[in-house]
């Protein structure tokens, strides 16, 4: 009986789940419609309604079933795909091509993404200039709004940003779910530190060259967003690197390992976000009194953030992105969302409700625009 209670600990009744979904329902309604739903264009109306229902149904099921990652991943993956669609669509409308030219760079017309942030810090501090050729305010994907969004989300969620806000993470998250069992089961622990090495290299190279070197040379997501026009050996090499890294770290390795390998072994922003885990109010806690050391959580963690030693010591590592996959897998309900300062094993439901509301609201609000845009595009394409 005790065991049944533990495994169903996070489930809620239908009425309670509806009640917990109500604030999300109202806020997303206000955000998506501005309080005045407009159905004059049928395709836009259907897209808006579909996304609104999708967002709220997923949140309802998080409460009703007690599962987190299962429903988070749906929105997270849809967000990644739709963001790429929106970005590519915008490029094609504005430039008639996915690549950008030297003229676009000179006119600062390159859309900004959060992965540039680590490279901006030193040059901004020493030269008081932004090294990215994008628009500071106004225009599509401007620098100031992205920096503010990332900063707020990271201060609140820590590395949770990587599983609840990053519009690239859904790519390798999606591919990591394709196979039932991993082909590659063990990877050397040393590789976990690679994002820090990449971070150091890109910060230094960007500071020395005053160029966003990660974007210019490494970013695998150039393959699904925008890239430099191939006009020379150098630009062809860059395109080769982007495609190889996308193929290797975002498609092949996630499928083979069932892990988010790009996020685990490359992303320099992930390294900064990991450090921010130390200061955020939300955390993941291990209730050692409930844990029976089955280590199912270690096996399913997509970011190599949990080891047997972590479980035994009762602490998750700084790599944790609070995705909730370990919690969904735990038969004892021993691993749970927590708030710093509150002992593990206490206020489990309260901490989870609070964290889910904040993180899911952020993802819903952040992703809704691009998902609506994608649905709208698909509807227009079909009909």
Partner 1 sequence: MTDSLILGLSSGSACLATCGMVMFPYLMADSANVKRIAVDLSLFLITRLIIYAIMATLAWHFGQAVFKSPVVRNIVPGLLYIIFAVMLVWYSISKSRNPSCPAKMVKTVSNKRLVPIVLGLTNSLGFCPALFIILTKGSTERTLVQSYLAFLGFFVGSSLWFLPLPLAGRIRKKEVIKNIGILATGLAGVIFLIKGLTNIIGGIING
User: Which parts of this chain interact with partner 1 (CB under 8 A)?
Assistant: 188, 190-191, 193-194, 196-198, 200-201, 204-205, 208-209, 233-234, 237, 241
Which residue, 193 or 350, has its beta carbon nearer to partner 1?
193
286 pairs with which residues across the strands?
335
> Nearest distance from residue 270's CB to partner 1, in Å?
14
DSSP per position, 141-195: T-HHHHHHHHHHHHHHHGGGHHHHT-TTHHHHHHHHTSSSS-S-----GGGGGHH
How many Cβ atoms from other residues are within 10 Å of residue 306's Cβ? 24
What tokens does 368 get?
Answer: 């809704």
| Closest distance to partner 1 from the beta carbon of 255 (Å) | 22
The C-alpha atoms of residue 337 and residue 370 are separated, in whole angstroms, by 29
Q: Which is nearer to partner 1, 205 or 370 (CB)?
A: 205
Which tokens hold the place of 307?
A: 């080891």
User: Please, are residues 223 and 173 in contact by the beta-carbon 8 Å criterion?
Assistant: no
Best CA proximity match to 358, nearest among 54, 72, 18: 72
DSSP designation for 301: -
Number of C-alpha atoms within 13 angstroms, CB side, residue 188? 4
In the complex, what is the shortest distance from the CB of residue 62 to partner 1, in angstroms, rounded to a whole number? Answer: 35
What single string gives the DSSP state of each residue in 8-59?
Answer: TTT---HHHHHHHHHHHHHHHHHHHHTTS---SSHHHHHHHHHHHHHHHHHH
Residue 137 or 233 with smaller CB distance to partner 1: 233
CB of 234 to partner 1, least distance (A): 6
Rounded Cα distance between 44 and 26, Å, is 20
Q: Which is nearer to partner 1, 31 or 191 (CB)?
A: 191
- Beta carbon nearer to partner 1, 102 or 237: 237
In the complex, minimum distance from the CB of residue 13 to partner 1, in angstroms, rounded to a whole number: 46
β-pairing, 335-339 with 282-286?
Answer: antiparallel
CB nearer to partner 1: give 21 or 205: 205
Task: Write down the least CB distance from residue 175 to partner 1, Å.
Answer: 23
Question: Looking at beta carbons only, is 42 or 244 nearer to partner 1?
Answer: 244
Handedness of CA 369, 261, 173, 323 (dihedral sign): negative
C-beta of 197: minimal distance to partner 1 in Å?
4
107 vs 234, beta carbon nearer partner 1: 234
Smallest distance from partner 1 to CB 244, Å: 11
């Amino acid at each position: 009986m005790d065991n049944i209670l533990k495994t169903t600990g996070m489930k809620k009744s239908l009425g309670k789940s509806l009640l917990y979904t109500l604030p999300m329902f109202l806020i997303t309604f206000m955000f998506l419609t501005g309080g005045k739903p407009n159905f004059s264009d049928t395709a836009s109306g259907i897209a808006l309604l579909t996304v609104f229902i999708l967002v709220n149904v997923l949140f309802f099921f998080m409460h009703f079933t007690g599962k987190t990652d299962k429903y988070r991943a749906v929105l997270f993956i849809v967000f990644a795909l739709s963001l790429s669609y929106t970005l590519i669509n915008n490029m094609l409308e504005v430039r008639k091509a996915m690549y950008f030219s030297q003229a676009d760079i000179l006119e600062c017309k390159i859309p900004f993404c959060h992965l540039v942030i680590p490279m901006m810090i030193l040059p901004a501090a020493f030269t008081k200039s932004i090294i990215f050729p994008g628009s500071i305010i106004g225009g599509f994907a401007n620098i100031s709004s992205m920096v503010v969004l990332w900063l707020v989300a990271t201060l609140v969620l820590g590395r949770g940003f990587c599983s609840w806000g990053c519009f690239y993470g859904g790519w390798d998250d999606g591919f990591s779910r394709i196979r039932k069992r991993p082909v590659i089961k063990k990877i050397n622990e040393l590789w976990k530190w690679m994002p820090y090495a990449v971070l150091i290299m890109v910060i230094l190279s960007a500071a020395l060259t005053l160029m966003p070197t990660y974007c210019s040379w490494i970013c695998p997501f150039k393959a699904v967003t925008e890239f430099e026009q191939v006009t020379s050996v150098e630009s062809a090499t860059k395109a080769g690197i982007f495609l190889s890294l996308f193929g290797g770290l975002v498609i092949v390795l996630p499928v083979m390992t069932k892990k988010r390998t790009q996020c685990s072994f490359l992303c320099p922003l992930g390294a900064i976000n990991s450090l921010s885990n130390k200061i955020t109010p939300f955390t993941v806690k291990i209730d050692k009194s409930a844990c029976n050391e089955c280590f199912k959580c270690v096996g399913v963690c997509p970011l190599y953030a949990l080891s047997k030693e972590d479980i035994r010591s009762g602490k998750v590592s700084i790599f944790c992105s609070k995705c909730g996959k370990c919690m969904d897998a735990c038969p004892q309900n021993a691993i749970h969302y927590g708030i710093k300062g509150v002992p593990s094993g206490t206020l489990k439901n309260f901490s989870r409700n609070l964290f889910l509301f904040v993180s899911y609201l952020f993802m819903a609000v952040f992703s809704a625009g691009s998902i609506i845009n994608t649905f709208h595009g698909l509807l227009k394409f079909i009909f």
